[in-house]
A and B are shown apart, each in its own frame.
Chain A
Amino acid sequence: MSSDSERYAEAEDGGPQPEKHCGHGRGGMGEEVKRKEDQRFITGRGNYVDDVKKPGMLHCEIVRSPHAHARIEGIDKSRALDVDGVVAVLTAEDLLEYDLATMPTLMADTQDVLVNDKVKFQSQEVAAVIATDRYTAKDGAEKVVVDYDVLDPVVDAQEALEDDAPLIRDDIEGQDDNHCLDWETGDEEATAEVFDEAPVTVEEDMLYQRLHPAPIETCGAVGDYDPGKDKLTVHMTSQAPHIHRTLFAQVSGIPEHKIRIVSPDVGGGFGNKVPIYPGYVVAAAASYVLEQPVKWVEERSENIQSTGFARDYDMTGELAATEDGEILAVRTDVLADHGAYNAVAQPSKFPAGFFNIFTGSYDIDTAYGSLTAAYTNTAPGGVAYRCSFRVTEAVYLIERMVKVLADELDMDPAEVRRKNFIQPDQFPYESATGWNYDSGDYEKALDKALEMADYEAYREEQRRRIEEDADKLLGIGISSFTEVVGAGPGKSCDIAGVEMFDSAEIRVHPTGNATVRVGVQTQGQGHETTFAQIVAEELGMDVDDITVEHGDTDTDPYGLGTYGSRSTPVAGAAAAVASRKVREKATSIAANELEAAEEDITWDRESGEFHVAGAPDRSISITEIAAGAYMNHPTSEEPGLEAVNYYDPPEMTYPFGSYVVIVEVDRETGEVEFEKFVAVDDCGNRINPMIIEGQIHGGLAQGIGTAMLEHVTFDDNGNVTGGDFMNYLLPTAMEIPEFETGHTVTPSPHHPIGAKGVGESPTVGSPPAIVNAVVDAMSHGGISHVEMPMTPDRVWENLDEAGLAMDPADNIELTFEGWESDGVADD
């Protein structure tokens, strides 16, 4: 065992983990370092895309389709061009000249940038008005006249696959229906056999509704083509600036070294800022044509209605089990809605993302899953919003089904989980669908969560309330999930052909401080702080002496960006490996400075100093070594002190957790209140517990939004009816309870610092726990499932169905005294 992994031996043994200051005391691993990013944000000095101003900058407003499905008969620009300050109106025809009217998606489909013939969803991009300011651009957009021949839309995946459904994709040769793709995993025949013979089987239908990540900052870009340098610079809200540069080069024909993508501060991404949207291309193309900078910033409704949605999986789950609760097989069938284009942002060989992690935390020998995806007259998307490539859907499926099975067998759902968990000594564990789980200790996390939640006492209280016919029912929900994050091994994972490695470049300056550049792109997750902590730990530096940069493709090493909780698993590994390369060279310089043999030099993690073995007083710090590298370098080495690493991960990381949610359900109103919300996460070794805690809080709030409030809805005409903040409801401080968080530490054995990703775990893990809790409150009335979002009216309907609803009129004495005294009743 190397000295680096020995450092974490205690954790692997399940020993106690210090909460703080387990690093070297100067901002290393495990310390709650305050964020370097904060200073600029709390003083209003962040630099987001809409803060970018350039001389001569024009503004772009996109003309969008009012119809979900319609043929464009003609576009009249003339009235828009008459508006004072309107510089240009672009349509598909103008872009065709540059071969930019369409662009490839990440799933080998083709998406319109501006529509040439037929709009396929409401709010789709039809034309772009470029003007001197944003108000005039909007005026111009109002005056573009588009002549539509309206067609029947289809916004429901099931209806889209029916024989008489209107054909959406008549642009694809040979496509004569709305079928998008089929996918399967596991062993169909073996699974069918187990189900045929199993003593117990359960089945449940569930819709993981269409959501939207809705980062508070919408998407936007400033395209700036410089004809003097023949160079295109695009500032954009990008989670993956390097891959965006490559795609821009492929689409535009401009060579990659003449494109610079800058992702400045990003006001939240949540997967929404991974795809390339038509707005980016239009801003860049307009700048190229007009030779002036062009800014495009979408409004909230445009963001929700046209950029990447999340989920929209209509799932059937089945479990086969023994009578004492041992799960024998799992089977699922999914109908996926992919919208009008297959533009799902995921590795190219995974058309259903990592959905086949649906065997979850359980040792299930046999599994089969099938999926059909349909085109509908809705915006494209699918993978976003902390989903880790469809792991949200997979975990929802299995964790809901375990509860359904527990109810069927009248067993405690915690017991069913314990009975089926993959055991610590089974890792690395190969799942029935081919995943290779790195490490885990699931029972430990569950036990901790149950204890924190005071589980037994609440079970007691739940029974009491049922017996006493109380007005408010108690429900207890559990979710014991396994995530799969850190895409990924280049042999299987690529984005548009580029393997999913990531990178770090460390440059130690002559005076001993350092600049670190990474290929990932923070959107608030604190990389500028945590990556500095990794390097500080590995080089014995002070965290304040390290600056982390990202987001500029001209200066940063190529990386695949931040999504799928991949930053720590992949670029975090690269930062550690690059640090160790620097340390290796530093050893050689230390030997030169101390006039000792290189093999006699040892490095001490605690002090961060290099010293001569057996003579600890003969030591030298990284600051002195840095000076030596530039001012007195050994003849055997190049001058300077820097290293780069492109890290191809050998495996994914598999963080896990157990969440316990306790709710009160009001039998009169169907309102759900959170009584207790416990989240125990295990992401291996923890770089910065404060930042992890913040990630968990935010992700749990999104889980609550998912379960209780959020839904992008459509009417029969294809109008988006849940398309802005008036009716796409984000939780406020009033809807979010206080969270109780805990953790265990089971390091990833293959990761250089034993760390796993964690950012998406809370949103993956919490929705099933919440739904399980609400179902649990009503399961004695025979309720086995409640669809999300669990609005009061929907919960009340379930209460009513179970015979548990109370008519408010029976319990409330209505008085009108207040009204009368105000004189309202008299008017």
Chain B
Amino acid sequence: MTEHDITLTVNGTEYELTVESRTLLVHALRDELNYTGPNVGCESSMCGACTVHLNGEAIKSCTMFAVQADGAEITTVEALADRDSLHPIQESFSEEHGLQCGYCTPGMIMTTQELLERNPDPDEEEIREALEGNLCRCTGYQNIVKAVESAAEKMRETTATAEVDD
């Protein structure tokens, strides 16, 4: 099996690692680098539990080889908060009870983050459509939609405040 030396920047830290051509990005993150936030829920690219950002775009890390991500900036759910301050999306998922077993949550949060960067004020239909690639078996989605709405509102307020400060 051919091996490759690659560089991945994960959550701001640069890692050099050697992977086989066939190593999936999700396994490089989980098994090699110990970012176990992204999860694996299927083998057909349906569930989205493995969603991370690759150069700012939400992707399913089970459907990409690690070697394809050579040189890329990757963000996982672990990057969103430091110990004392949660990201508004994380806060909202907790406040609106948008998670139960927590297994889809890291992927849901990363998809939400991309959505809100692209569309800071999505309506319900747009939220549901954006989340279509992320399966959840616990919540029935309703509280996740509420969490995204609430996070969007918080983030718009923060942006507005920031603009006033400027």
Would you give the shortest CB distance from B22 to chain A, in whole angstroms?
7
Contact between A268 and B138 (Cβ–Cβ < 8 Å)? yes
Bin chain B's interface residue count.
Answer: 35 or more
Contact between B101 and A523 (Cβ–Cβ < 8 Å)? yes
CB interface residues, A 665-703, toward B, < 8 Å: 690-691, 693-702
Q: Among the listed A39, A50, A266, which residue makes an inter-chain contact with B30, where contact means beta carbons less than 8 Å apart?
A: A50
Contact between B41 and A216 (Cβ–Cβ < 8 Å)? yes
Q: Among the listed A37, A45, A725, which residue makes an inter-chain contact with B46, where contact means beta carbons less than 8 Å apart?
A: A725
Chain B residues, Cβ within 8 Å of A133: 31
CB interface residues, A 690-722, toward B, < 8 Å: 690-691, 693-702
Would you give the shortest CB distance from A305 to chain B, in whole angstroms?
12
Given the complex of chains A and B, what is the CA–CA distance between A699 and B104 in angstroms?
Answer: 16
Given the complex of chains A and B, what is the CA–CA distance between A732 and B100 in angstroms?
Answer: 16
Contact between A44 and B31 (Cβ–Cβ < 8 Å)? no
Given the complex of chains A and B, what is the CA–CA distance between A577 and B139 in angstroms?
Answer: 31
Contact between B36 and A265 (Cβ–Cβ < 8 Å)? no
Contact between B44 and A268 (Cβ–Cβ < 8 Å)? no
Would you give the shortest CB distance from B124 to chain A, in whole angstroms?
8
Chain A residues, Cβ within 8 Å of B156: none
Would you give the shortest CB distance from B86 to chain A, in whole angstroms?
7
Question: From DSSP, what is the main secondary structure of chain B's interface residues?
Answer: loop
CB interface residues, A 3-26, toward B, < 8 Å: none
Contact between B47 and A725 (Cβ–Cβ < 8 Å)? yes
Contact between B99 and A38 (Cβ–Cβ < 8 Å)? yes
Contact between A216 and B103 (Cβ–Cβ < 8 Å)? yes
Which candidate, A733-741, A792-800, A816-824, is the interface stretch facing chain B?
A733-741
B7 at the interface (CB under 8 A from A): no
Contact between B43 and A524 (Cβ–Cβ < 8 Å)? no
Cβ contacts A498-513/B at 8 Å (1 or 0 each): 0000000000000000
Contact between A525 and B132 (Cβ–Cβ < 8 Å)? no
Known: A37-B102, A48-B103, A700-B140. A217 touches B41 (CB 8 A): yes
A46 at the interface (CB under 8 A from B): yes
Output the nearest chain B residue to A703 by Cβ-Cβ distance. B140
Contact between B81 and A43 (Cβ–Cβ < 8 Å)? yes
Given the complex of chains A and B, what is the CA–CA distance between A161 and B137 in angstroms?
Answer: 35
Contact between A726 and B44 (Cβ–Cβ < 8 Å)? yes
Given the complex of chains A and B, what is the CA–CA distance between A398 and B29 in angstroms?
Answer: 50
Chain A residues, Cβ within 8 Å of B129: 733-734
Would you give the shortest CB distance from A145 to chain B, in whole angstroms?
22
CB interface residues, B 25-48, toward A, < 8 Å: 27, 30-31, 34-44, 46-47
Contact between A267 and B102 (Cβ–Cβ < 8 Å)? yes
Known: A44-B77, A697-B143, A736-B142. A216 touches B36 (CB 8 A): no
User: Measuring CB to CB, which residues of chain B are less than 8 angstroms from any residue of chain A?
Assistant: 20, 22-23, 27, 30-31, 34-44, 46-47, 49, 76-78, 80-81, 86, 90, 93-95, 97, 99-106, 109, 124, 127-129, 131-145
9 additional contacts (CB under 8 A) given A267-B41, A694-B143, A733-B144: A42-B105, A43-B78, A44-B76, A46-B102, A218-B41, A526-B100, A697-B141, A726-B44, A736-B142
Q: Can you name 24 A-B residue pairings with CB atoms under 8 Å?
A: A42-B77, A42-B86, A43-B80, A44-B35, A44-B37, A44-B78, A45-B78, A46-B103, A215-B103, A215-B137, A216-B101, A216-B137, A267-B39, A267-B101, A300-B44, A693-B97, A694-B100, A694-B139, A695-B100, A698-B137, A725-B42, A732-B141, A733-B129, A739-B140
Closest 9 CB pairs of A and B: A44-B37, A41-B102, A524-B101, A267-B103, A697-B140, A524-B100, A701-B140, A725-B46, A44-B77
